[in-house]
Amino acid sequence: MMKLFLADFDGVFGLKGKINFTPKAPVILYAPNISGKTNVITAIRMCFLDTVKLLVLLAVFLGFGAVL
């Protein structure tokens, strides 16, 4: 099982900063609208994707359309 302890963002989806995760503790993201909460979740989700799914997601995100 993979565990995430630290997320260090430097320009990924426009994010900059670090998040330390305490083992077995819930994580709550709160901030004003349009502040990047969804970008944080997307970046963390991408860490757990396999390479093929990651490349497809990036292609769609970058505007290359759906890849079948």
Convert the pLDDT of each residue in 5-40 to its tens digit.
888 888 878 888 898 888 888 888 899 998 888 888
Question: What sign for the dihedral angle of Cα 55, 57, 63, 65?
Answer: positive
Res 45 pLDDT > 70? yes
Q: What is the pLDDT of residue 43?
A: 83
CA distance 7 to 10: 10
Q: What is the pLDDT of residue 28?
A: 86
- Is pTM beyond 0.85 here? no
Q: What is the pLDDT of residue 50?
A: 78
Res 68 pLDDT > 60? no
Cα dist. 29→14, 17, 26, 52 in Å? 17, 14, 10, 28
